[in-house]
Amino acid sequence: MPPGLMGTDTSASGGGASPGRSADVGATARRRALVAAALVAVLAGVGWGVSASRDGGGPAGVDDAAPSAVATASATPSATATATGAPPQPAPTTMPDGSTIPSPSPGAPSTPGQGRTVPVGSVRTQAPVDLDGTGDFGTGLTVRLAGVRGVQGVARAPGEVAGPALEVTVRATNGSDAPIALDGVVGYLSYGGDRTPATDFGQGSAPLQGELAAGASATGTYVFAVPEDQRDDVRVEISYTGEAPTVAFEGAVD
């Protein structure tokens, strides 16, 4: 082929657009268009969200919670008002057994007290008799010491100290024509010139108690802590009611 024709063909081939390059250019343009469209869509969505936030006043969760809080706050005063405004319950008019409560109640005094101090009367103690004598209360009841002997005291209760003791047996006789209650009988023992009170023991004691029939007799036992070297001057006192005097027995115990 002549050189002139070859040069013409080469320039024509190098200067024209090939089909492959045209296809690449078209694909690139389409991709750019899709990216641009997606970007526009994203921006549009963001703008709509901002606008909705400004118009709506906050997220839905906050809007939903606010009415509940307001409702709760407004309900609280109502509940308080109902509780404080409840009328007082009337006083009961019947007893548990269904009977009517009297008015005024029998437990209430008809007139109020004066607030005065009432002196307490002292119980008189009779002059002591010998340990083998008889004490007379002047009410038909008489007592005597049926026995006084040394024993060993056994401590069982708080405050008790085991040691030498005296067991005193008291015999009571009802010389009246009516029963006499002995539940209030109290025994007391002291010793020495300064009248030291003796501690009583529960263990071994069997006090007078119950009701003593007319003409009947009964015995009771009382145990007191008394040192062995303090038994030359022993006094036993017996009382059973605040209306009768206290009887006393005095002497030495061997």
**Which single residue is written with the structure tokens 């606010």?**
66
Indicate the range of 115-119, 171-175, 200-204, 234-238 predicted with least confidence: 115-119
CATH label of the domain that carries residue 234: 2.60.40.1240
In the DSSP assignment, the letter for residue 111 is S
The amino acid occupying position 197 is: P
**Which single residue is written with the structure tokens 């024993």?**
151
Determine, yes or no, domain membership for 110. no
Determine, yes or no, domain membership for 171. yes
Determine, yes or no, domain membership for 115. no
- Residue of higher predicted confidence among 101 and 183: 183
Residue 19 has pLDDT above 60, yes or no: no
Domain that holds residue 199: 129-251
**Strand 234-239, strand 211-212: pairing:** unpaired
How large is the average pLDDT for residues 118-128? 79
Whether residue 53 sits in one domain with residue 141: no
Summarize pLDDT for 225-236 with one digit per residue, the tens: 999 999 999 999
Summarize pLDDT for 21-70 with one digit per residue, the tens: 555 556 666 777 676 766 666 666 655 554 555 555 444 444 444 444 44
Residue 179: helix, strand or coil by DSSP? Answer: coil
Determine, yes or no, domain membership for 2. no
Taking a C-beta distance cutoff of 8 angstroms, is the pair 169, 219 a contact? Answer: yes
Determine, yes or no, domain membership for 214. yes
Q: What is the pLDDT of residue 3?
A: 43
What's the number of domains the chain is made of?
2
Number of helices (H) and strands (E) in the chain: give both, helices first. 3, 12
Q: What is the pLDDT of residue 254?
A: 86
CA angle 111, 114, 118 (to 5 degrees): 120
Report field, pTM of the whole predicted structure over 0.85: no
d(C-alpha 103, C-alpha 94), whole Å: 11
Whether residue 147 sits in one domain with residue 240: yes
